Structure formats: C-alpha cells, structure tokens
Amino acid sequence: MKILVFGAGLVGTAYAWQLQESGCDVTLLVRKQRMVRFAHSGISISYTDMRGGGKDYGHTVFRPKVTDRLDDREKYDIIIVCVRSNQLKDALPYISKHSGNADIFILGNIWDEYKLAGKHFPKGRCFYGFPDIVAGGMTESGINCYLFRKVFTVIGEPGGKISSRLVRVAGILEDAGLSPMTEKNIISWLQYRYLVSAILPPLISKAGSARLFLSARTLVKQYIIALKEGQRVCRKRGFEKRNIFPFTRFYLPYFILRKLIKRKMGEEVQAALESQIKHGVAEKKKQYYDVLNCGKRHRVPMPYWASFEKYMDFS
C-alpha cells in the first residue's frame, strides 16, 4: 500500500516512521524549506517506547521519502492527514484538489472540521482517527516522542460501518505497533476527546505546570466540572457519550476520580502535554474557544469553562 503522510509535525513524523519501519511504502510531505535538510540528513527522533511494558529510551535518524507537494499522479492509496485542527481549513481544499482517488484518513483533533471535510470530499471518501498512542513535541532537528502502552490509535468510519478499508488500515497499524482500536461512533468519540484537549492548557497555565495542576485538588475538581459543562454542549449538539476517560467515571466521588486522573497522567504524559502547549499555542486557543463559543450558541451555562479564559494567554 502506498501511503502519503500529510504533515511532518510530531504525529505525522512518528506515524510515518513506524509505518516505514513495518515495511510500508511511505512518503512524508514536508515544508519546502525543510525538504533538502530532511532528504540529506534525515529526521532526528528521540523516543521513549513503553509499548513493551518497560521504558525503552533511544535515538534514531529517520530517513523517509519526502516531498513538498501533493501530486495525484503518484496514485497514493491512503493520505493520512496529520495537521493541527487550526490548519485543516487550509489543508483540506488543497488535498481535495490533488489527492486523486486516495482514501483520506484524518488523524487528530476534530470539532466541526468533519463538516468542512464534507464540503471538499464526496461522501465516504474520508474516515477519522485519533493518535492517542503517540505524544511529545518538536525539536530543532526532529521530534521527541512517547509511545504509550495500553493506549490506542482510535479509528472509525463516520457512518459507523466496519468497512474493508477500515479493516485494511487497522491491519497496517497493528503491524506497525500503533495499536488500532475501532470506534463505531468515531465523530462523537472525537468530540469528547476534543474537550480534554481544549480545557487542559489553561488549567496547566494557571497552575504553572502539569505536575502542579495534578497536585492542586481544587483545580482538578474544576477540571472535572468544566468537562461536565463541555459534555452538556456535546449532548446539546446531539452527540452520545463515548467510552472515553474521564467521562465514563463521572459517577465516582471527586476524591476517587482525582486519584484516577493522577494515575492516568504520569510523568511522560505531563511532559508531552507541556510540550504540546508550548508548540501548539494557536491550536490550543482555537480548541478552547470552539467549545466555549458553541456553548454560548446553544445556551449552555459554562461558568467554570469560561472562568479559565484569562489563562489562555500562555504564549
């Protein structure tokens, strides 16, 4: 299978690296100014791989095939779109024009962007996913990434069908060690995952670090309440609650839920969150205001969510 990974950030680079390591024919689309350097020197990858149960620390130089443009004459089977949610508005029209007959796999944070994809691609052309298994940040010469254990690449068709391409892509991801998990209601799942991505940055900003956030009982409680407000926005929009933490544990007392949150957010997750905030300021601001403004349109009271607006200036 011939794959183009559109976007050479953390997720795109990590997925291209693992897919190539497993034997896939992968091309990585990069910015023009980086193409010569990556083609000659490769991409530096420092990693912490926890998939085997321990912590395997290492460094490698990833040498992918690279291009700075999308050419439908290349006849890619799949284009994996790994850009930030605030970049999809510009990326999707370009991909639509030059993608040929390739299936489009949009991998990342989604709020209303599935509607945007529907405007540029015929029905059934796009499917979606989230790279939960990978986190980290960019460096001057490449990426620093964490590959987690017991976490997945969540994938699904917008209509809930277990299609042949979904099965095929799941097999490719499995061979690459990227732990696919099929979600029948992927759009709803992505809405709830978006809430977590949107509200954590201002809370961490208020606390001063991810570690201090997790140590502050009041802030963790406010995090849970803000997520409940976001959940009401999702329900108002017609989205069902999905099997995603911590929404599935809201029935628990706060002190127990807080302990579970601390357990889920270990040192590696904390470091990855801080790196994502540092290198993705524009995206994080967009996510926060996407949810807040949607709540206002649907007249959902969001006092806790709104109270963190003053901490969004973390640039």
Specify whether the CB–CB gap between 117 and 128 falls below 8 A: no
AA identity, residue 278: K
Q: Which of 155, 184, 213 marks a domain boundary?
A: 184
Q: What is the pLDDT of residues 183-241, one digit of tens each?
A: 999 999 999 999 999 999 999 999 999 999 999 999 999 999 999 999 999 999 999 98
Residue 295 has pLDDT above 60, yes or no: yes
Instruction: Please indicate, yes or no, whether residues 203 and 255 belong to a single structural domain of this protein.
Output: yes
* Neighbour tally for 170: CB within 10 Å: 19
Q: Count the domains in the chain.
A: 2
**Of residues 55, 26, 28, 57, the one with CA closest to residue 43:** 28
- Please report the pLDDT score of residue 35 as a whole number: 82
Q: What is the pLDDT of residues 92-128, one digit of tens each?
A: 999 999 999 999 999 999 999 999 999 999 999 999 9
Q: What is the CATH number of the domain that holds 178?
A: 3.40.50.720
- Please report the pLDDT score of residue 271 as a whole number: 92
Instruction: Please indicate, yes or no, whether residues 152 and 21 belong to a single structural domain of this protein.
Output: yes
What is the average pLDDT score of the chain?
95
In the chain, the percentage of residues whose pLDDT exceeds 90 is: 90
- Please report the pLDDT score of residue 64 as a whole number: 92
Residue 314 has pLDDT above 80, yes or no: no
- Please report the pLDDT score of residue 36 as a whole number: 82
Q: What is the pLDDT of residues 26-63, one digit of tens each?
A: 999 998 888 888 888 899 999 999 999 999 999 999 99
**278 band by pLDDT with thresholds 50, 70 and 90:** confident
CA-to-CA distance for 213 and 308, rounded, in angstroms? 13
Instruction: Please indicate, yes or no, whether residues 143 and 225 belong to a single structural domain of this protein.
Output: no
Specify whether the CB–CB gap between 261 and 214 falls below 8 A: yes
Instruction: Please indicate, yes or no, whether residues 90 and 154 belong to a single structural domain of this protein.
Output: yes
Q: Is the dihedral of CA 161, 75, 65, 122 positive or negative?
A: negative
Instruction: Please indicate, yes or no, whether residues 125 and 267 belong to a single structural domain of this protein.
Output: no
Instruction: Please indicate, yes or no, whether residues 264 and 193 belong to a single structural domain of this protein.
Output: yes
Instruction: Please indicate, yes or no, whether residues 167 and 35 belong to a single structural domain of this protein.
Output: yes
Domain that holds residue 79: 2-184
- Please report the pLDDT score of residue 62 as a whole number: 96
Instruction: Please indicate, yes or no, whether residues 179 and 205 belong to a single structural domain of this protein.
Output: no
Let me know if residue 315 belongs to a domain. no
| Helix H or strand E encompassing 146 | strand 142-147
- The mean per-residue pLDDT over the stretch 244-260 comes to 95
| Helix H or strand E encompassing 13 | helix 10-21
- Please report the pLDDT score of residue 168 as a whole number: 97
- Please report the pLDDT score of residue 38 as a whole number: 84
- The mean per-residue pLDDT over the stretch 142-152 comes to 95
Let me know if residue 249 belongs to a domain. yes
- Please report the pLDDT score of residue 315 as a whole number: 55
- Please report the pLDDT score of residue 154 as a whole number: 98
Q: What is the pLDDT of residues 160-170, one digit of tens each?
A: 999 999 999 99
Q: What is the CATH number of the domain that holds 274?
A: 1.10.1040
Instruction: Please indicate, yes or no, whether residues 264 and 141 belong to a single structural domain of this protein.
Output: no
Q: Which of 162, 184, 206 marks a domain boundary?
A: 184
- The mean per-residue pLDDT over the stretch 78-100 comes to 96
